[in-house]
Amino acid sequence: MNEILRVEDLTKTFKLSRKQQKIERTDRNVIVAVNQLSFTANKGEIFGLLGPNGAGKTTTLRMLSTLIHPDSGDAILDGCSVVRQPEEVRGKIGFLTSELKLEDFFTPNYLFDFFSHLHQVDEAIISERKQQMFSRFGIDKFAEVKVANLSTGMKQKLSLVISLVHNPDIIIFDEPTNGLDVLTARVVTDYLQELRSEGKTIILSTHIFSLVERLCDRVGVIIDGRMISCGTLDEVCNGLSLEDRFFEIYKEVKGGEE
């Protein structure tokens, strides 16, 4: 086993605004979104973070991609620390969420070049990779159409392509199928499997059991910011279906509280 990601005691607290306190129905003015989270992922596997809404999945992945800074703890990606070497980390990963948008004004062609430059991709490689990726996702026909005029599915596929311009070894994907129709979702999940077969490591988050069962080699169940169970699918499931096992775990955790 070849460990490529090590997450150690990652913790993140947010201050809550009044408005948020109301929404979350709590009097506390801080929320521990991620609580001493630790796990590892190996090279060439798909690791799934499974958890309900508000579990802390997005917060965790944002820390891994250095968009936000952990309060304590660290994560080492391919030898680089998110705390001490954020720029190096960003060079090694491709990060994708539905929140990351592309500027409407530009064409796929322009954006591919633009982001390739920001990732310091060699000029010689850019056009070859662009052609290959664009035809893989059927973007080639729309290469000169402004993002504003692309269909939602096409935009999603373009976002995926753009986040991978630099052919990163680690791909971090928050809710990969969120908001996609079945066809586009399938294109994306097929591509994730293809990437795995190329030896890439994929960290994804989801609340969809079937997605984990179909894609993931290993899974971490996260509830209220804490890692409750982590291992291969078989280890975590303990002979049950993932869904049944999840509710068992969920009751164990929440039962103690109430």
Partner 1 sequence: MKKGNNTWTIIKKEFARFFGDKQLLFTTVIMPGLLIYIIYTLMGSGMSKMATEGADDLVIVRVENLPESVAPLWENLPATALLQQPISEEEIENLEDKDLNEVLARFPKGFDTLVAHYSAESGELAPNVEIYYNSANNASSRVYQLLEGSLSAYEDQLSNRFDINRADSEEAYFDRANQDDVLGSILSKLIPMLILMLLFSGVMAIAPSSIAGEKERGTIATLLVTPMRRNELALGKIVSLSGIALLSGISSFIGIVLSLPKMIQADTAGIEMGLNYTSADYAVLLLTILATVLIMASMVSLLSALAKDVKNAGTMIVPFMLVVMFCGLTPMFQSGTPVGLASYLIPFYNSIQVMTSVFAHEMKWLPAIVMLASNVVYTGVAVWGLTRMFNSEKIMFSK
Ligand X SMILES: Nc1ncnc2c1ncn2[C@@H]1O[C@H](COP(=O)(O)OP(=O)(O)OP(=O)(O)O)[C@@H](O)[C@H]1O
Q: Which residues contact partner 1 (rule: CB under 8 A)?
A: 14, 17, 20, 62, 65-69, 87-88, 90-91, 93, 95, 99-106, 110, 114-115, 117-120, 122, 162-163
DSSP 73-87: EEEEETTEETTT-HH
Residue placing its CB nearer to partner 1 in the complex, 16 or 249: 16
Instruction: Output DSSP code: residue 147.
Output: G
- Residue (53 or 197) nearer to ligand X, CB: 53
Contact 122, 153 (CB under 8 A): no
- CB closer to partner 1 out of 87 and 234: 87
Q: Using CB distances below 5 to 8 A depending on partner kind, what does residue 55 bind out of ligand X, partner 1, Mg ion, none?
A: ligand X
Of the pair 163, 229, the CB lying nearest partner 1 is at 163
- 239-254 in b/e form (b: 16+ CB < 10 A) is eeebeebbeebeeeee
- In terms of DSSP bridges, do strands 46-50 and 226-232 run parallel, antiparallel, or are they unpaired? unpaired
* 65 vs 184 by CB, closer to partner 1: 65
Beta-carbon contacts of residue 109 (< 8 Å; ≥ 6 apart): 130, 143, 144
Listed in sequence order, the residues at least 6 apart from 250 whose beta carbon sits closer than 8 Å to its beta carbon are 52, 223
Q: Which DSSP symbol is given to 31? A: E
Residue 84 binding partner per list ligand X, partner 1, Mg ion, none, with a CB distance cut-off of 5 to 8 Å that depends on partner kind: none
Sequence-distant (6+) residues with CB within 8 A of 120 are 91, 166
Residue 90 binding target from Mg ion, partner 1, ligand X, none, CB below 5 to 8 Å by type? partner 1
| Closer of 101 and 141 to ligand X (Cβ) | 101
CB of 86 vs partner 1, minimal distance in Å: 9
Q: Which residues bind ligand X (CB under 6 A)?
A: 14, 31, 33, 51, 53-59, 207
* The entry of partner 1, ligand X, Mg ion, none that residue 184 binds, CB within 5 to 8 Å by partner kind: none
**Lookup: tokens for 33:** 């979104």
Out of partner 1, ligand X, Mg ion, none, which partner does residue 247 contact, by CB within 5 to 8 A per kind? Answer: none
Q: Rounded to the nearest whole angstrom, what is the least distance from the CB of residue 205 to ligand X in the complex? A: 7
Give whole-number Cα distances, 192 to 122, 164, 176, 220, 252, in Å. Answer: 24, 12, 9, 18, 33
Q: How far apart are CA 233 and CA 244, in angstroms?
A: 13
In the set 41, 44, 50, 58, which binds Mg ion (CB under 5 A)?
58
Contacts of 176 (CB under 8 A, 6+ apart): 96, 185, 188, 189, 192, 204, 206, 211
Contact region for Mg ion (CB under 5 A) — 57-65, 75-83, 210-218, 241-249? 57-65
Look at residue 128 and give the partner it binds from partner 1, ligand X, Mg ion, none, a contact being a CB closer than 5 to 8 Å depending on partner kind. none
65 binds Mg ion (CB under 5 A): no
Q: 77 pairs with which residues across the strands?
A: 5, 80
Instruction: Between 33 and 158, name the residue whose CB sits nearer to Mg ion.
Output: 33
Q: Which does 196 bind (CB under 5 to 8 A by kind): partner 1, ligand X, Mg ion, none?
A: none
